[in-house]
Amino acid sequence: MKIIVEKGQDKSLLADGRQLVTITHIEEGKSEHKDIPFFAARFENDEGYISHRFYESQAGMPAIVSLFDEVGLPVESGKELDTKQLVGKQLTIEVGQRSYTDPESQNERTLKQAINFLIS
């Protein structure tokens, strides 16, 4: 079998800690278990990348608002946010790990994620 490696796929996951990154891609979808809309942002620099999902839910909105604020895109009540405007924006994130219980298997899982979004 031949596997094509697309641009950016040759990078490893970012190391834990503060990272200066650029948002290089936005992917939209719905969660597998509760059908909640989300967008996944790919944060990237020369050392690697990390993708992070932002869920359009009551619990997820503070992270979405924080991300838009930190990259200089104003958030106003009653107005729509366009996730495509995030592409190309630069900011500092903190990369860390989070554990949770998988709803299907009830096993504990750990994932690497971006937190604490700061404008650079």
- What does the pLDDT look like over 17-55, one tens digit per residue? 999 999 999 999 998 878 999 999 999 999 999 999 999
**pLDDT on residue 87:** 98
| Domain 17-76+83-119 classification at class level | mainly beta
Average pLDDT over residues 65-78: 92
**pLDDT on residue 96:** 85
Q: What is the rounded CA–CA span in Å between residue 120 and residue 34?
A: 34
Return all residues near 36 (Cβ < 8 A) that are at least 6 apart: 30, 55, 56, 57, 60
Q: What is the pLDDT of residues 80-101, one digit of tens each?
A: 999 999 999 999 999 987 777 7
Judged on CB neighbours under 10 Å (0-12, 13-18, 19+), 72 is exposed
Look up residue 41 and give its two tokens: 């942002």
pLDDT for residue 119 is more than 60: no
Q: What is the rounded CA–CA span in Å between residue 48 and residue 59?
A: 28
**pLDDT on residue 65:** 93
- For the chain, domain boundaries: 17-76+83-119
**pLDDT on residue 105:** 78
pLDDT for residue 120 is more than 50: no
**pLDDT on residue 100:** 73
